[in-house]
Amino acid sequence: MSSTTNSPTHHTSTIGAIGAPSRRNTELALLVFAVVIPVFAYANVGLALNDSVPPGLLSYGLGLGLLAGVGHLVVRKFAPYADPLMLPLATLLNGLGLVVIWRLDQSKRLSNYAEAAPRQLLYSAMGVALLAVVLIFLKDHRVLQRYTYISMAGALFLLILPLVPGLGANIYGAKIWIKIPGLGTLQPGEFAKIVLAVFFAGYLMVKRDALALASRRFMGLYLPRGRDLGPILVVWVISILILVFETDLGTSLLFFGMFVIMLYVATERTSWIVFGLLMSAVGAVGVASFEPHIQTRVQAWLDPMREFELSRAGVQDGVVHSEQAMQALWAFGSGGTLGTGLGQGNSDLIGFAANSDFILATFGEELGLAGVMAILLLYGLIIERGVRTALAARDPFGKLLAIGLSGAFGLQVFVVAGGVMGLIPLTGMTLPFVAYGGSSVIANWALIGILLRISDTARRPAPAPAANPDAEMTQVVRPS
């Protein structure tokens, strides 16, 4: 290409964004694919368990198809330039989760637990409804910026709710649920995740220059001034308090990790990551030294076999011993590379929470390493699209919000998958979209809704600029 610079005053080439196609048809095609796969899985489970195509196949397929269709139409109408991949990926994960939850419902070993699949389908419908609400009523994500400090108050309120006497429910050691009479339980932390991301984004957008520039250089690291350490200390203290009072390592890690990620993105200072890692390590070790619930979790992580034997022996020493962690590891092991096939594993031996916190173990056993890799890649793709959205977003608030939400999503997947596979101590968190749990599914659909809104704004083609008369004049004109 000729890069002529005929005169210093005239630019020779104009650089402009290529008009992005809306990609809605791509999304539709992928959605059809994303509905067909779980239907296939559903038929597969039925054939393996009962030698017949399950009677609910049609209604299940129609249900999932309806959800996907509604989601697609809402996106087509209200966010036409949004990312084409997020909705299909979320739909596929949700559909696969439904199938595995239904498969665990069929297990005779788990027959004393209530049937979960129909409820999960209901929750998914509520989730897609919330996605629609977000897309219809949130015309511009920058509106959220106005509610920065209200979001902070809201998030703190949501986080404290489970500790309110009479409202909070202590389920197997972790106090992260609240009981709503007549409706069941709710995990406010899942919603606090989104609200907190809004607060962090709004706060960091205003304060990031102070945090990035006012610092001294010491041993290759930028040390922030003492008073700028304030916010990170406050968030750290809050996450430690969550750890102490709600005894939930996952939630604590999620919030602190999300803050550190957003701080790093906002300031481009590696020192924040170093500080964050040090502080979370100190906090976690400190709390684990006196909190028996956390100690049990760490014990079960370091030596799951001992925990299994204690549980089998029925040792009563004040703490709950559980064989879940070991059973989950066995499930992964017996799955091997290609798995035992849907409906043919024994992951139901995990017992309680087999369809929520431990649902990945069922994937590991019945789909094998190949299947788990694919599932993790699907999560990775959602996160990639979130980060891509942040890169494309033009306003700093949208950038930070998209990074915060996708970072929180990624951390959650890491905490759950790492816990179930024995990489880190297990904590009670749900695998987004897949695991059984109303709060999680609904909150994550809302999260996808916000990401879709930001990506729609980011990818919407800018109005064409007026033609530059100079460019016309300086064109090479040769009669030939």
Partner 1 sequence: MSELTLTVMRLGFLAVLWLFVIVAVQVIRSDLFGTRVTQRGSRREAGRQQQAARQAPPQQRQQATGGRRGRNAPTKLVVTEGTLTGTTVALQGQTITLGRAHDSTIVLDDDYASSRHARIYPDRDGQWIVEDLGSTNGTYLDRTRLTTPTPIALGAPIRIGKTVIELRK
CA distances, 67 to each of 73, 82, 95, 193, 375 (Å) = 10, 18, 10, 24, 20
Question: Would you say 51 or 317 has its CB closer to partner 1?
Answer: 51
The distance of closest approach from Cβ of residue 1 to partner 1 in the complex, given in angstroms and rounded to an integer, is 6
Instruction: State how far the Cα of 249 lies from the Cα of 252, in Å rounded to an integer.
Output: 5
Binding site for partner 1 (CB under 8 A): 1-8, 12-18, 20, 23, 26, 30, 33-34, 37, 40-41, 44, 47-48, 51, 84-85, 88-89, 92, 338-342, 344, 367-368, 370-371, 374, 377-378, 381, 384-385, 471, 473-478
- 3-state secondary structure (DSSP) of residue 173: coil
Instruction: State how far the Cα of 16 lies from the Cα of 344, in Å rounded to an integer.
Output: 55
- The helix (run of H) or strand (run of E) holding residue 251 is helix 249-267
Cβ atoms of 99 and 64 closer than 8 Å: no
- 3-state secondary structure (DSSP) of residue 437: coil
Question: Would you say 96 or 176 has its CB closer to partner 1?
Answer: 96
The distance of closest approach from Cβ of residue 240 to partner 1 in the complex, given in angstroms and rounded to an integer, is 38
Cβ atoms of 249 and 283 closer than 8 Å: no
The distance of closest approach from Cβ of residue 395 to partner 1 in the complex, given in angstroms and rounded to an integer, is 19
CA 336 to chain CA centroid, Å, is: 27
The distance of closest approach from Cβ of residue 344 to partner 1 in the complex, given in angstroms and rounded to an integer, is 7
The distance of closest approach from Cβ of residue 242 to partner 1 in the complex, given in angstroms and rounded to an integer, is 35
The distance of closest approach from Cβ of residue 366 to partner 1 in the complex, given in angstroms and rounded to an integer, is 8
Question: Would you say 5 or 270 has its CB closer to partner 1?
Answer: 5
Question: Would you say 91 or 324 has its CB closer to partner 1?
Answer: 91
The distance of closest approach from Cβ of residue 228 to partner 1 in the complex, given in angstroms and rounded to an integer, is 36
Pairing assessment for the beta strands 184-186 and 174-180 based on DSSP bridges: antiparallel
Question: Would you say 34 or 64 has its CB closer to partner 1?
Answer: 34
Cβ atoms of 296 and 319 closer than 8 Å: yes
The residue type at 458: A
Pairing assessment for the beta strands 184-186 and 168-171 based on DSSP bridges: unpaired
Question: Would you say 1 or 114 has its CB closer to partner 1?
Answer: 1
Question: Would you say 216 or 478 has its CB closer to partner 1?
Answer: 478
